Amino acid sequence: MAKRTTKSTKKTTKSVKKSPKKRKTPTRKTPSKTSRKKTTKRKTTRKTPRRKPQKIAEMFETQETLAVNRQALWNTYRELQSRVNHALDKLRMHFHTRAMPHVLLEDKKELLFLLGECNYMARTCAELDAHEHKR
């Protein structure tokens, strides 16, 4: 066992009276006003009016050139349609064989590109047909 060493220390005790703490009466807090941030006026750029796109039928001078070009557009549309079908078959085949993801993404990009082109050609051909029926 270790010996206890006692040091003699003088304890100074002062008799201090502690005053009882005053209770705060419960008060309702008023909601603080939210300060709005100062907004600066944005400079608005003036939008230039878009030019009306030139109609396909208006570009051709004679009916003969219009008919030749219309036939060429329909042939291009059919070719694009067959390419879309081929790309879709390719994508399905790669999907069912569980090809790598980058291969599937490339197939998807190609298909979407061809669909966009095909959509454009379809609108162009429809516009030409509508122009022909007006006359």
Assess contact for 95 and 104: CB atoms under 8 A: yes
Is residue 123 predicted with pLDDT exceeding 80?
A: yes
DSSP 13: -
**pLDDT per position as a tens digit, 41-94:** 666 677 777 777 666 656 666 667 777 788 888 899 999 999 999 999 999 999
Extents of the domains making up the chain: 66-134
Amino acid identity of 34?
Answer: T
- Residue in the structure block whose two tokens are 């502690």: 18
For every residue of 56-98, DSSP letters joined together read HHHH-SSHHHHHHHHHHHHHHHHHHHHHHHHHHHHHHHHHHTT
pLDDT of 57: 57
Instruction: Note the pLDDT of residue 117.
Output: 92
pLDDT digits (tens, 9 = 90+) for 33-45: 666 666 776 666 7
Q: Which two tokens stand for residue 73?
A: 């557009």
